[in-house]
């Protein structure tokens, strides 16, 4: 009899201790005691968009690392544009990229043969009503690299600007490709002068060795 009650008492105490430990569990876990260097346990909250830490526009005039300097001439500055030289020295890969971009962005109108007769025009039968300029005959033959770059940047009459589709480096690659084709696929030693400016000096685009 006595033995049984002892067992019951022990069982009751053990059960109580167990329940008590359950009750302590929460607070115990929330308070892990002292922390050495708390920043290493709990990282500081980083709120995007708060305190203007992120998503800020770069300072005006910022040039992305590796990007080319911006083109400052205005649409009407054609005389200066004639004098601008291609800052890129294009190797075969550069010219190939120029051709790829030309075929995508210019070829539909100006033709992949650069004859001014792309699928949109089709000798007048296409949906595009205006004759695009030929690149290998006529006045564009006399255009300097800078002038062609200027036309791509600002458009010309009915032709729109391609500045939003092609960044500066891509535009110069297209120009390099056109100039290279004007020279029969060879790197021009000295390119033709611009037709409308006696002062224009069109530079050579070096091709691959």
Distance, CA of 164 to CA of 78 (rounded, Å)? 20
Beta bridge partners of 156: 159
How near is the Cβ of 114 to ligand HEC at its closest, in Å?
Answer: 9
Q: How far is the CB of 50 from ligand HEC (least distance, A)?
A: 42
| Residue 11, number of CB atoms within 10 A of its CB | 10
Which CB atom, from 83 or from 140, has the smaller least distance to ligand HEC?
Answer: 140
What is the SS3 assignment for 184? Answer: coil
CB of 71 to ligand HEC, least distance (A): 14
**CB closer to ligand HEC out of 142 and 204:** 142
Quick one: tokens of 174?
């297209």
Asked if residues 181 and 106 have their Cβ atoms less than 8 Å apart, the reply is no
For ligand HEC, the closer of residues 174 and 207 by Cβ is: 174
Residue (of 201, 206, 204) closest to 82 by Cα position: 201
Nearer to ligand HEC, 20 or 75 (CB): 75
Residues that bind ligand HEC in the complex, under the rule CB under 6 A:
105-106, 108-110, 120, 128, 130, 132-133, 140, 143, 148, 151-152, 156-159, 162, 174
Taking the complex as a whole, the smallest distance from the CB of residue 120 to ligand HEC amounts, in Å, to 6
Give SS3 for 159: strand
DSSP 42: S
DSSP 200: -
> 168-182 and 145-154 helices cross at what angle (nearest 10)?
130
CB proximity list for 20: less than 8 A, separation 6 or greater: none
CB-wise, 99 or 110, nearer to ligand HEC? 110
CB of 135 to ligand HEC, least distance (A): 7
User: Which C-beta is closer to ligand HEC: that of 25 or that of 122?
Assistant: 122
CB of 183 vs ligand HEC, minimal distance in Å:
16
């Amino acid at each position: 009899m006595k033995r049984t009650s002892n067992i019951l008492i022990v069982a009751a105490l053990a059960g109580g201790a167990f329940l008590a430990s359950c009750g302590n569990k929460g607070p115990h876990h929330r308070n892990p005691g002292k922390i050495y260097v708390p920043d290493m346990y709990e990282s500081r909250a980083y709120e995007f968009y708060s305190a203007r830490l992120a998503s800020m526009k770069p300072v005006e005039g910022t040039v992305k690392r590796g990007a080319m300097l911006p083109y400052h001439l205005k649409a009407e500055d054609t005389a200066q544009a004639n004098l601008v030289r291609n800052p890129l020295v294009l190797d075969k890969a550069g010219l190939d990229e120029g051709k790829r971009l030309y075929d995508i962005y210019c070829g539909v109108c100006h033709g992949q043969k650069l004859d001014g007769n792309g699928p949109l025009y089709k000798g007048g039968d296409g949906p595009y009503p205006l004759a695009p300029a030929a690149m290998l005959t006529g006045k564009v033959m006399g255009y300097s690299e800078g002038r062609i770059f200027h036309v791509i940047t600002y458009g010309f009459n009915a032709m729109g600007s391609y500045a939003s589709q092609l960044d500066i480096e891509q535009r110069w690659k297209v120009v390099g490709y056109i100039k290279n084709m004007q020279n029969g696929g060879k790197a021009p030693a000295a390119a033709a002068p611009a037709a409308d400016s006696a002062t224009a000096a069109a530079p050579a685009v070096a091709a691959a060795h």
